[in-house]
C-alpha cells in the first residue's frame, strides 16, 4: 500500500472520532438556562450579601427536586450565599450529590428493571434499610438515573420535574458554581456534607481525602475559601481538621449520639455536645455548629415556638458560628400558629418563624426557599 493510500485509509478511520462524534451536552449551561426561566429568580440582581448567611438547603429544593444542578442554579439566582450538596460515594469511588446513599426516594431507580436485582437490605448507621444504595452503582450507572421529588405530598408541584435531571458529581457542582460566579460577578459558596462517613469508611470508600482532593484541585484550600464542610459525625471532622484549613461545621441532632461515637462506644451524645464544655471541645476542631432549629427555639406540646435556649449565646462564647437547619415554607414544617389552613403543602407564615430565629443572633440558616430568606434579610 502506498504512503498516500495509507494516509487516506488512516484518515477515514479516524474521521468518526474527530469529526462525527457529537459534543457532550453542556449540563452546567442547561441548568443555568433552566433556572433563569423560573418565576422565582431575582428580578433585581443585587448580590451584596449580608449577615446572616442564606444557605440553600440541597439547592432551592422548595422549587425543584433536591440535589440537582437545576436546584443549585436556581438557588444562586434567588440570591443564596451558599449551596449545600450532600455527598455520598459510588462503587468506583466518585463523589455525587444525594441526601442519602439509599436512592429509592430521590431517583427513578425503582422503575428501572435493569437495576431490580440491586435492591437489598443492609445496615446504615445502625439502622436496617431496604433499597438501592449508591455504593452498589458505578458513576456511569448512576448517570442513567433521573431525580424525582423526595416529598411529593408536601411538594406536589415539584413532581412536574420528575425525570428531567441527572445526579450531579461534586465536580459538576463546582463547575456550575464557577460559571455562576463569573456570570453574577460575586462569590458563591459551597457547603458540602459528608453523609454516612463511617459507613463508607467501613466499605473502603472513605470520602474525606477524595473530597479534599476535588476541593483543592479547584482552588478551595484555605480558611478564607468560601467553603464549609459539615458532618453529623465527630471523628471525620477531627481527621479533616488535621488535613485542611477549610472551615468545618459540627452538625447536631436533638437526641442520641453521632454514629461514629456509637461505633467507638464513647458515650458522647448530642446533648452533651451542646453544653458550654461540649461547645468548647467542638471549637477545638470546628468553626461552627449546625443545630436542628428546635435546639435554638423549641416548640411546645401544641407545636408552637417557645422561648429561645442559650445555645446561640453559648456557642458564640466558644467562638463558634451557628447555622441552624432546616427552614421550610410549607405548613407541614411550620409551627402550628404560623400555618395557613390545613393543607400540608400550603405555604404558611415562614417569615414570622425566620424573624424569631434571626432575633436570636444566628449567623446563617439552611432553607429550602432561599428567595424568602434573602428578601427578608434585605428588609432588616
- Count the helices and strands in the chain (H runs, E runs): 14, 13
Distances (CA, A) of 299 to 253, 294, 308: 15, 7, 10
As a whole number of angstroms, the distance between CA 102 and CA 165 comes to: 18
* C-alpha cell belonging to residue 24: 457532550
As a whole number of angstroms, the distance between CA 115 and CA 92 comes to: 17
| Burial annotation 121-153 (CB, 10 A radius, 16+ → b, else e) | eeebbeeeeebbbbbbbebebbbebbbbbbbee
Torsion of CA 270, 272, 273, 277, to 10 degrees: 170
Q: In what order do the strands lie in the sheet with 228-231?
A: 95-97, 86-89, 193-194, 228-231, 247-252, 288-291, 321-322
Which of 331, 360, 334 minimizes the C-alpha distance to 344?
331
Name residue, grid cell 441552624: 324
Distances (CA, A) of 349 to 97, 324, 331, 340, 355: 30, 18, 9, 7, 10
Instruction: Provide the annotated active-site residues.
Output: 57, 99
Pairing relationship of beta strands 364-367 and 53-56 according to DSSP bridges: parallel
As a whole number of angstroms, the distance between CA 157 and CA 345 comes to: 9
Distances (CA, A) of 347 to 96, 193, 272, 338, 380: 31, 27, 35, 9, 22
Which of 374, 371, 328, 375 minimizes the C-alpha distance to 350?
328
Amino acid at each position: 500500500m502506498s504512503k498516500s493510500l495509507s494516509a487516506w485509509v488512516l484518515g477515514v478511520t479516524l474521521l468518526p472520532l474527530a469529526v462525527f462524534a457529537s459534543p457532550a451536552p453542556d449540563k452546567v449551561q442547561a441548568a443555568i438556562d433552566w433556572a433563569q426561566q423560573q418565576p422565582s429568580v431575582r428580578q433585581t440582581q443585587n448580590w451584596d450579601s449580608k449577615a446572616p448567611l442564606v444557605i440553600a438547603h440541597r439547592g432551592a429544593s422548595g422549587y425543584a427536586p433536591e440535589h440537582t444542578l437545576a436546584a443549585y442554579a436556581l438557588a444562586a439566582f434567588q440570591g443564596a450565599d451558599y449551596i449545600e450538596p450532600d455527598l455520598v460515594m459510588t462503587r468506583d469511588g466518585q463523589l455525587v450529590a444525594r441526601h442519602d446513599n439509599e436512592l429509592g426516594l430521590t431517583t427513578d431507580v425503582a422503575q428501572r428493571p435493569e437495576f431490580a436485582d440491586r435492591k437489598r437490605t443492609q445496615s446504615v448507621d445502625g439502622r436496617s434499610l431496604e433499597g438501592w444504595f449508591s455504593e452498589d452503582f458505578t458513576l456511569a450507572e448512576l448517570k442513567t438515573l433521573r431525580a424525582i421529588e423526595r416529598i411529593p405530598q408536601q411538594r406536589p408541584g415539584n413532581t412536574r420535574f420528575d425525570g428531567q435531571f441527572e445526579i450531579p458529581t461534586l465536580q459538576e457542582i463546582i463547575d456550575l458554581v464557577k460559571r455562576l460566579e463569573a456570570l453574577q460577578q460575586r462569590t458563591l459558596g459551597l457547603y458540602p456534607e459528608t453523609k454516612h462517613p463511617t459507613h463508607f469508611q467501613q466499605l473502603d470508600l472513605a470520602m474525606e481525602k477524595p473530597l479534599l482532593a476535588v476541593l483543592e484541585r479547584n482552588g478551595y484550600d484555605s480558611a478564607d475559601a468560601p467553603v464549609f464542610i459539615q458532618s453529623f459525625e465527630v471523628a471525620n471532622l477531627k481527621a479533616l481538621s488535621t488535613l485542611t484549613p477549610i472551615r468545618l461545621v459540627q452538625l447536631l441532632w436533638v437526641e442520641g449520639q453521632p454514629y461514629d461515637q456509637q461505633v467507638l462506644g464513647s458515650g458522647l451524645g448530642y446533648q452533651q455536645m451542646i453544653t458550654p464544655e461540649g461547645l468548647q471541645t467542638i471549637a477545638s476542631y470546628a468553626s461552627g455548629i449546625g443545630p436542628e432549629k428546635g435546639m435554638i427555639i423549641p416548640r411546645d406540646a401544641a407545636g408552637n415556638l417557645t422561648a429561645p435556649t442559650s445555645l446561640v449565646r453559648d456557642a458564640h462564647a466558644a467562638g463558634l458560628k451557628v447555622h441552624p437547619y432546616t427552614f421550610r415554607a410549607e405548613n407541614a414544617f411550620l409551627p402550628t400558629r404560623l400555618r395557613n389552613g390545613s393543607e400540608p403543602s400550603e405555604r404558611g407564615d415562614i417569615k414570622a418563624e425566620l424573624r424569631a430565629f434571626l432575633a436570636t443572633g444566628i449567623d446563617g440558616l439552611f432553607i429550602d426557599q432561599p428567595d424568602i430568606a434573602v428578601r427578608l434579610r434585605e428588609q432588616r
